[in-house]
Every structure is written in C-alpha cells, then in structure tokens.
Amino acid sequence: MSALEVRDLTKRFPIGGALMRSQVHAVEDVTFELRPGTITALVGESGSGKSTVARLLAHLYAPSAGAVLFEGNDVARVRRRRDVLRYRSQVQIIFQDPFASLNPVKTIRHHVERPLRIHGIVPRGQVAERAHELLRTVGLVPPEEVAAKYPHELSGGQRQRVAIARALAVEPKVVLADEPISMLDVSIRIGILNLMLKLKEERGIAFLYVTHDLASARYVADDILVMYAGQIVESGPIEQVLAAPLHPYTRLLLAAVPDPAGKPGRIEPRKGLASAAVDPPEGCRFVGRCPIAIDVCSRVTPPLVEAEPAQAARCHVTAPST
C-alpha cells in the first residue's frame, strides 16, 4: 500500500528570451511511491531537480506531465481550493530554512495553533492543549514557555522543530522534508533526524527526505532515490544500493563523501558540464562524466531497469535492458 504514488512526473521550466528559448528539464519521468512508516531519501547534487520534486508533490508547482496519486486520485490536476486544502492537510512540507519559514512577529503558539483552527482538527476549546502536546512531541519543553516565545528567541534547531510541530498539527500522512537539516548546526542535526525516525515509527508517517548528504540519508532512510540532471538514475533499499551501487553516478557520489569510518576515497576530476538538464539531447545525461560509457550511451536514453531485486538503475552498462 502506498501513501503517495508518483508516475512519470515531469516538470520543464522555460529559460532564455524570445530568440534563444530553452527548456530546463528539471524533472523528467520520475516514478516512485512513498509508503506509510517509511522514509524515502531523495538524493542528488544541487540543480538535480530534487527540490522541484518535493515542491511538485506539495502542490506548489503544477507538473508539465505525469500524475501524483493520493488515495487513488490524481492530485496534480486538483484545482478547487477546497480540494487543494484537503490535500495539503494530508501532505505537508518542511523547508530548509527555519529562519525564513516562520513569521517573525508571531509567537510560536500562533504558528502551531493556526493549522489546528484552519483545518478544524480539534474543537476550539482543545486547541491550546493540542498545541502543547505537539510541542512536546517535537521535544520543545516546557511547551507553555516555548509557545509564548517569538521565532528569534529560538535556536535554528528549535525553529525547525516548530516547523515540524506545525506540519504535524494537521495529522498528515505524508511529510516532505526538503533539506531540513542542512542549515542547522552540526551538533543538533542528529536530533532532527531522530525526531523523523520517531515520527515514522510512532505515527506511521511516510517521509520524503530530500538531501545532498548520503550519510544522513543512510542514517534515517529505508529506501533511496538518486537523482541526476532531472532523472532518477538509481533506486532501491538504501543499504543495498550503498553497498553495491549500480549507477556510475551513485558510485561517484559515494566515493566523494568524507567518511570518518571508511577509507579515504579518490575521484577523477570531472570533465563534463554542470547543466546537463538544459535542452538535453537523446542519450544518457551522465555520459559526459561517465568512466564506463559505451557507444550507445550518447545515442539512447537508458530506461530505469530493475537489474537486482528491488534495485533499479538507468545505465546501459550496469543495468542493461534486454
């Protein structure tokens, strides 16, 4: 059973002027599902399209093509305000910057109680009590004291916890966490990751964890999706993928991450270009940087092929389609 299903999701952004019109294929043919009580990591470098996927799922952008299925309905096409509101109450998003996502002139109480009132989650008389409960859930204690504060009185980690409490207020089935820890101090990041693990276990929430940090992805996630230039190039159970990656890009990423526990890796400096997603020609988008490319790679776009049980990759060499 899936909490959210994504099929062939595609988003193109036009760039350039009237004469030199180009398109960024920010997200192309992305297919995956989020399951209850599961954390799925969406990993890739900046510009790979990972945040665009999260924003598409949050109904902040309309897709160019493809479907987002929630409880059997294609919500990508939902337009009526009431339906959008209902969807958003079930699928919440948390952003990278906890400094920007809270209103500086409103108290924490306001932020957490507002969704409770708007979506009518609890009777009016119980709003305050529920807000305290939510703050306690995300580790902000004592809740009465925290609720009375303003965002600037909290640390970055505490603000991100407020953002999470606010997302939880509407009892969502799905939470999209877009780089939730990358702007936080190192010593408090693990606390937020542990909170995600707790919420997944206790509330059965389906998380999409968008990140560029493979080590934190391994720490929290069950499954991984690796994105490169708008496409998913590898997917599967995270331990399996990291232990035996199929796609050369996944291998490159793994070699590049500093790992205190492992041996220092060395990588070959890149030859290719950064913007492989602008007006991409037919063929594999990684071909310019690929150490194992063969003839066909620059001519035919490789499909996502399940080469190992539950593990799929977009590579003519390591995951050939038969």
Partner 1 sequence: MTAVAEEPVVTRTTGTALLELRQLVVEYGSGPKRVRAVDGVDLEIRPGEILGLAGESGCGKTTVANAAMQILRPPARLVSGSVLFRGDDLVRKSAEELRRFRWRNISMVFQSAMNALNPVMRVGDQFVDAMRAHERIDRRRSLARAGELLEVVGIDRRRLRAYPHELSGGMRQRVIIAMALSLNPELVILDEPTTALDVVVQREILQQVEALKQDFGFAVLFITHDLSLLLEFTDRIAIMYAGEIVEEAPAARLATSAQHPYTQGLLQSFPPLTGPLTRMAGIPGAPPDLRDPPSGCRFHPRCPHCLPERAGLYLRQTSERPVLREVAPGHRVACHLVEEGAA
Tell me which residues in 267-286 interact with partner 1 (CB under 8 A).
267, 269-270, 274
Q: Which is nearer to partner 1, 197 or 305 (CB)?
A: 197
Q: Which is nearer to partner 1, 171 or 279 (CB)?
A: 279
Per-residue contact flags (x/-) with partner 1 for residues 169 to 188, judged by CB under 8 A: ----------------xxxx
Residues contacting partner 1: total by CB under 8 A: 41
Q: Which is nearer to partner 1, 22 or 321 (CB)?
A: 22
Check binding of 22 to partner 1 (CB under 8 A): no
Whole-number Å distance between alpha carbons of 112 and 131: 6
* Structure-token match 């995300």, residue found: 138
Whole-number Å distance between alpha carbons of 276 and 60: 24
Check binding of 293 to partner 1 (CB under 8 A): no
Q: Which is nearer to partner 1, 7 or 212 (CB)?
A: 212
Q: For residue 52, which of 198, 178, 191 has the smallest C-alpha distance?
A: 178
CB 219 within 8 A of CB 290: no
Question: Is the Cα dihedral 50, 79, 23, 233 positive or negative?
Answer: positive
Q: How far is the CB of 47 from partner 1 (least distance, A)?
A: 9
Check binding of 246 to partner 1 (CB under 8 A): no
Whole-number Å distance between alpha carbons of 61 and 58: 8
Q: Which is nearer to partner 1, 89 or 158 (CB)?
A: 158
DSSP state of 19: S
Sorted by sequence, the CB contacts under 8 Å of residue 189 that are 6+ apart come out as: 157, 181, 216
Check binding of 261 to partner 1 (CB under 8 A): yes
Q: How far is the CB of 45 from partner 1 (least distance, A)?
A: 4
Q: For residue 210, which of 88, 86, 30, 71 has the smallest C-alpha distance?
A: 30
Per-residue contact flags (x/-) with partner 1 for residues 40 to 79, judged by CB under 8 A: -----xx---------------------------------
Applying CB under 8 A, which of residues 173, 189, 247, 285 lies at the interface with partner 1?
A: 189
Q: Which is nearer to partner 1, 8 or 201 (CB)?
A: 201
Check binding of 219 to partner 1 (CB under 8 A): yes
> Could you give the dihedral angle defined by the CA atoms of residues 125, 129, 131 and 136, in that order, rounded to the nearest 10 degrees?
-170
CB 196 within 8 A of CB 22: no
Q: Which is nearer to partner 1, 148 or 273 (CB)?
A: 273
Backbone angles phi, psi at 86, to 5 degrees: -65, -45
Residues that bind partner 1 (CB under 8 A): 45-46, 155-158, 185-191, 193-194, 197, 212, 214-216, 218-219, 242, 252-262, 264-267, 269-270, 274
